[in-house]
Amino acid sequence: LLAPAMHTNMWENPATRKNVQTLQARGARFIGPVAGELSSGDRGLGRLAPEEDIYAEVLSVLSTGKWQGKKVMVSAGGTREPLDPVRFLGNRSSGRFGVEIARQFAWQGAQVTLLAANIEPTLLESLPGGVEVVATPSAGKMHQAALDYFPHMQVAVMAAAVADYQPVDFQSEKIKKVPNQQEFSLRLRSTADILADLASKKHSDQLVAGFAAETGSWEQVLQLGKEKARRKGADIIFINQVGTETGFGDIATRVCAVDGEGSEIGQFSGNKPQVATQIVTLVRQQVQ
Ligand code: CTP
């Protein structure tokens, strides 16, 4: 296991790239480098991976891998529904939670497919090499990919923030502003509920989990999440509170796990990597 740290120019130098490939081909695993401030004062890819990530990767290399041989699909990020060549309807999801869940599964030996909707490249680059990343930028593309991959999976954790509506018409030319027009209406049609669709198709040896992103007080969030769990048909729903200040991006989070009937089966809090670890542990208990 190698944890390199160097200047971006050196990391990206063709000689280094070739050496990295040779080592990977011989079975060496890399963690990092990650992007950020470098000792030269420049910014870029080249920082040593965080110690806790190196520690977790060491454990994973040394462990037999609790998820060895299992196939897991994770969705992450926010979908974008195109309006015209330059505009879309989107949301504030960073994709961080789903990426951390994918990372935990991969570290524990699972073969992971990540359905990635508009996630920052540096976040995707931080994933272990073996994770298969499938670009699913819109709700329609994610639905199709989910249906294609799901039959081969033991577990699906759908953490993406998927648009519930998409524009009825895609305008192939840029929509022009109408002078003096004060209001503008868009016609939208509903998208497929991917999670509910997978839940309705799953076999007894498959587990489907999703999220319920809710706003309001924690009590309201729990109530809305439990109602959602009863509607979706999934095995587990992870309820989390979102808003402009909570839930999205790189901040502490709190999650309540409920089963398909809305009964509580776990409560977790911490930063997203910590909660992701607890989520993967709970999924494992439910699979057994
Ligand atoms: N989801 C999905 N397909 C959609 C919308 C949501 O698969 N078209 C999934 C999400 O990935 C998540 C779960 O459903 O796992 C709940 O998403 P959320 O946005 O909380 O709920 P919605 O079903 O969209 O309901 P609402 O927006 O009314 O809260």
- Centre of ligand 1 to C-alpha 241, Å, is 14
What would the two tokens of residue 208 be? 């489907």
Tell how far the Cα of 272 is from the centroid of ligand 1, in angstroms: 19
More confident call, 205 vs 244: 205
Confidence of residue 102 (pLDDT cuts 50, 70, 90): very high
- Statement: residue 246 has pLDDT above 90: no
Q: How much is the mean pLDDT over the chain?
A: 92
pLDDT average, residue stretch 262-273: 91
Q: Which residues, 6 or more positions from 195, have their beta carbon under 8 angstroms from its beta carbon?
A: 158, 208, 210, 232, 234
Please give the number of the atom of ligand 1 that sits closest to the Cα of 197.
7
**Mean predicted confidence (pLDDT) in 216-234:** 95
> In the predicted model, what is the mean pLDDT of residues 191-216?
96
* 64-86 residue pLDDT tens: 677 888 999 999 999 999 999 99
- Indicate if the alpha-carbon torsion angle 86, 247, 33, 44 is positive or negative: positive
How confident is the model at residue 199, as a pLDDT?
A: 97
Of the pLDDT bands very low, low, confident and very high (cuts 50, 70, 90), residue 204 is: very high
118 as an active site residue: the answer is: no
Residue 250 CA, distance from chain mean position: 13
Catalytic entry in 9, 91, 180, 240: 91
Q: State phi, psi for 249 to the nearest 5 degrees.
A: 80, -155
Q: What is the strand order of the sheet 111-117 is part of?
A: 132-135, 111-117, 71-77, 155-158, 207-214, 236-241, 253-259, 264-270
Instruction: Give 210 Cα–ligand 1 centroid separation in angstroms.
Output: 8
What are the pLDDT digits (tens) for 137-158?
A: 999 999 999 999 999 999 999 9
pLDDT for 79: 98
Stronger pLDDT, 26 or 23, i.e. the higher one: 23
The band of 167, judged by pLDDT with boundaries at 50, 70 and 90, is: very high
Residue 126: is its pLDDT beyond 90? no
- Give me the mean pLDDT over the 223-228 stretch: 96
Quote the distance between the C-alpha of residue 151 and its chain's center: 20
Give the model's confidence band at 127: pLDDT under 50 very low, under 70 low, under 90 confident, else very high. Answer: confident
Q: What is the pLDDT confidence band of residue 40, given thresholds at 50, 70 and 90? A: very high
Q: Could you tell me which of 133, 128, 129, 131 has the C-alpha nearest to residue 145?
A: 133
Q: Is 53 in the pocket of ligand 1 (CB under 6 A)?
A: no
Describe the crossing of helices 218-232 and 194-201 by its angle, rounded to 10 degrees: 50
